[in-house]
Amino acid sequence: MAEQWHLKKYDDGSVFGPVDLPTLQQWAAKGEISPFDMISRDTVKWMAAPELEDLDMKWVVDFPDGEAYGPTCLEAIRSFVEDGQLTAENALRNMATGERYTIGEHPEFQGLTGNADSGNGESDAPAEQVSSNEDVEYLHSRIGELEEAIEKMQTAHETGMSQLNQDLVTAKTQAQFLRSELDLLKDASKAEHDAKSATEQEVQTELTRIREQFNILFEINKQLTENYEQSLAQLHRKIEETIAKIEENAQREAELNNQVAEAAQREAHYREQIIAMEKEVVKAEQSQANLLRKYAELNDRLMKFLNDSAER
């Protein structure tokens, strides 16, 4: 019976399979396997999908803004080009060999180009001019504007909380990858013991394989860390912008009569939500620091193992 595989999606933890290797390769070719997804033969011991050499997920796409996607396979990149998500100008590099191309330069993509999406942003900057003799109708209008602004701030708070939850999911994914790396180190230790009776060439081959797998895990962890830091920075900016808007509205409310008291109470409620969000951010930062410390410890152990192997 052909070897069967299970696929676990990193975003929601859903599991697919069992399927044979050709089916798994087809999924990767269609871009349906993320660089952060996990695969397993028994649903007990999981490893990062790019670690399976048969999937050939060794290519990373670098974007001009510093972000990256990968590692993934050339077939998946081709599908992204064909549907317009990537273009011939996007940078491409091989994690195993260090080769670098633009997509248009790579031999597999000669004559193949993608369509870049373009859009026109709209900027609305209405100017409000209010006469000195404001009447009751204008007062009611201002109250409505404040309520609308507060509603928008609430939506921004909910969006920020959702982003924070996604960051926590990303942190959990990093923990999974670190556990996989620990299993890899254990396997490497066993391989070292078995290699004592093998030839020098066999030892070097095993070390090369371990280095490649470590590079894949390192790249994945690096991307997760960068994405987390960017998301955290965006969340901080959103909080600062929201606080600035609340303070501005508070100044406007001071000029209104008792009819805006209800709006002031809502503002206080949203301030409490912001404080709660900031506490969650602190927890997320602490979790990130713990993960980075564990990663450093694992890296030291691997380097010690590589140095010991080289001395032999």
List CB contacts of 196: < 8 A, sequence separation 6 or more. Answer: none
Question: Which among 114, 48, 309 has a CA at the least distance from the CA of 196?
Answer: 309
More confident residue, 304 or 261: 304
Q: How far apart, in Å, are the Cα atoms of 32 and each of 28, 41, 169?
A: 6, 18, 20
Q: Looking at domain 138-311, which CATH architecture does it have?
A: Up-down Bundle (1.20)
Contact criterion met (CB below 8 Å) for 287 and 171: yes
Residue 214, CA distances (Å) to 50, 192, 200, 295 in order: 11, 16, 21, 12
- Residue 71: pLDDT band with limits 50, 70, 90: very high
Does this model's pTM top 0.75? My answer is no
Give the start-to-end residue ranges of the domains of the chain: 4-109, 138-311
Residue 126 pLDDT level (bands cut at 50, 70, 90): very low
Instruction: Please give the pLDDT value at position 288.
Output: 87
Q: When comparing pLDDT for 56 and 206, which is higher? A: 56
Band of the pLDDT at 246, cuts 50, 70, 90?
confident
pLDDT, average across residues 225-237: 83
Q: Is 5 helix (H, G, I), strand (E, B) or coil?
A: strand
Taking residues 47-75, what's their average pLDDT? 91
The mean predicted confidence, pLDDT, of the chain is 78
pLDDT at 54 over 90: yes
Query: In terms of pLDDT, which residue wins out, 182 or 83?
Result: 83
Q: Where residue 170 falls among pLDDT bands split at 50, 70, 90?
A: low
C-alpha span between 310 and 303 (Å, rounded): 10
119 band by pLDDT with thresholds 50, 70 and 90 = very low
Distance of alpha carbon 217 from alpha carbon 196, whole angstroms: 27
| pLDDT the model gives residue 124 | 39
pLDDT digits (tens, 9 = 90+) for 21-44: 999 999 999 889 999 999 999 999
